[in-house]
Amino acid sequence: MIGSLTGVVRALEAPVVLLEVNGVGYEIDTPLSTFCQLNPGQNVTLWTHLVVREDAHLLYGFSDTTDKALFRTLIKVNGVGPKLALSILSSMSSAMMIQAIDMQDVTTLTRIPGVGKKTAERLVIELRDRLQNLSSSGSDGSSLGSHQFGITSVSPVAEAEAALVSLGYKPLEAQKAIGAVKSEFTETADLIRAALKSMMKQ
């Protein structure tokens, strides 16, 4: 099992990071909370979880061990796979997630793309006890299918919209959310953060 990787960020294609470690480039899927902290050329440690399938080996990376532990806890819930787990972690912080579960806040959970009422209720039931140990955890460190990093430049707006669509938001929802904040921000990470914040308040 690959538990962590330390290297240089060579490319970013939301929500995938190309991390070069000793001359080897690893494509790592990340929640947008992690992705938005990274910059090309940055030396970084990502805490990773490896998923082995018949057709692929997929790496998921997180900026701290709390997010990694929460991801591993989420994918144990019936009906929650890695993609939905990343969507949850992209839409709210670990602290917000733990609080929502503790308060049995189904309404907030259903604002996450891919999480309906039944899934939200299942998350509350199955995670309430499991997440108690995570609520006091701290950070220790500084996401589905095949991705390719080309040399074509993509605008921050287009990349931010693509990142939201990869989380499960509909294209029109993504365009509307990014369109509402694009006059205030020019960087992909800032656009994503602002759009997610506005959508979670709706």
- If one counts every other C-beta atom within 10 angstroms of the C-beta of residue 120, the result is 21
* CATH number for region 156-201: 1.10.8
**Which residue, chain included where needed, has tokens 């990349």?**
159
Name the average pLDDT for the chain: 84
Q: Give the C-alpha distances (Å, rounded to integers) separating 109 from 87, 100, 127, 174.
A: 11, 7, 13, 18
Enumerate the domain spans of the chain.
73-127, 156-201
Q: How far apart are CA 162 and CA 68, in angstroms?
A: 24
Asked whether the beta carbons of 19 and 5 are under 8 A apart, the reply is yes
What is the rounded radius of gyration, in angstroms, for the C-alpha atoms of the chain? 16
Q: How far apart are CA 142 and CA 37, in angstroms?
A: 9
For residue 112, pLDDT over 70 is answered with yes
* CATH number for region 73-127: 1.10.150.20
pLDDT digits (tens, 9 = 90+) for 121-171: 999 998 887 776 655 444 443 333 334 444 345 678 888 888 888 777 888
pLDDT digits (tens, 9 = 90+) for 22-58: 999 999 999 988 998 899 999 999 999 999 888 889 9
